[in-house]
């Protein structure tokens, strides 16, 4: 389809392991966002890309989290030394507009469970 | 410090009646507000938005009202339908911010 695609849809890992989550945005969208949603809460901002560069990474909780978008399209969220508190649904979204007043198009999310 | 708050975790209404979902915000820099709808196991989908230069925006059965002085917005759904049953998120952003800040959502149940 033409929507935002996220893989894997589910990931179960052990504490301390490394995880990569991938996002393929809608073709032509220059802005890409990562959010994290815990149970009973709304999406929490992590990082935002405009093209290849991270325009705002103020939401990344610590240096175990890192994201890249090397060619301005697909993005990978990388989590090192995972902890149980990292368990959540990681949502990716993309947008047409260059500034933050456009609607976001979300993928279905990657559910991460850290045992 | 939660900048966008949805104080009602859940709302139940009868089919055909009006649903009113509320949202409060604290950051006066916010100048654009959006509502998203989320079904289980899916990502949120955009529903309707409003700029701070307006106080009302309507799209079919959905109307969003903005009261800037009270830092409050509401989403009205008339008439409510069972297919409207979902979690509704209020979100706010401001020009050049690049990101939206979300509330924790309100679960709407529309009973047939």
For A40, name the nearest residue in chain B, comparing CA atoms only: B104
The pLDDT value given to residue A51: 87
> Which of B14, B18, B51 lies closest to B32 in space, CA to CA?
B51
- B94 and B29 in contact (C-beta within 8 Å)? yes
Q: Which of A43, A48, A108 sits opposite B98 (nearest CB)?
A: A48
Q: What parts of chain A have a pLDDT lower than 70?
A: 1, 97-101
Mean pLDDT, consecutive 10-residue segments, chain B of 112 residues?
93 98 95 94 94 95 97 98 97 82 97 95
Instruction: Look at residue B9 in the predicted model and tell me its pLDDT.
Output: 96
Please give the angle made by the CA atoms of A39, A85 and B103, to the nearest 5 degrees: 35
- Alpha-carbon gap, residue A57 to A64, rounded angstroms: 13
**pLDDT value at residue B96:** 67
Q: Does A60 contact B at CB distance below 8 Å?
A: no
- pLDDT at residue A18, as a whole number: 98
The alpha carbons of chain B give a radius of gyration, in whole angstroms, of 13
- Count residue pairs from A and B with Cβ separation < 8 A: 71
Query: How far, in Å, CA of B73 to CA of B34, rounded?
Result: 10
């Amino acid at each position: 389809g033409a929507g935002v695609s996220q893989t894997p849809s589910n990931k179960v890992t052990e504490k301390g392991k490394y995880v990569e989550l991938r996002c393929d945005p809608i073709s032509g969208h220059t802005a890409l966002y990562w959010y994290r949603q815990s149970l009973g809460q709304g999406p929490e901002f992590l990082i935002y890309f405009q093209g290849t560069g991270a325009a705002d990474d103020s939401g990344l909780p610590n240096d175990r989290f890192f994201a890249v978008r090397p060619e301005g399209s697909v993005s990978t969220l990388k989590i090192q030394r995972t902890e149980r508190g990292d368990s959540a649904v990681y949502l990716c979204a993309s947008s047409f507009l260059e500034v933050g007043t456009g609607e976001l198009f979300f993928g279905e999310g990657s559910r991460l469970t850290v045992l | 410090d939660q900048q966008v708050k949805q104080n009602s975790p859940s709302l139940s209404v009868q089919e055909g009646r009006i649903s009113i979902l509320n949202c409060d915000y604290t950051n006066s820099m916010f100048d654009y507000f959006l509502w998203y709808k989320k079904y289980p196991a899916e990502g949120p989908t955009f529903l309707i938005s409003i700029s701070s230069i307006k106080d009302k925006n309507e799209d079919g059965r959905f109307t969003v009202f903005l009261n800037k002085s009270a830092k409050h917005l509401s989403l009205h759904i008339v008439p409510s339908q069972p297919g409207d049953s979902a979690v509704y998120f209020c979100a706010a952003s401001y020009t050049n911010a690049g990101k939206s800040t979300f509330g924790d959502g309100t679960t709407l149940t529309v009973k047939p």
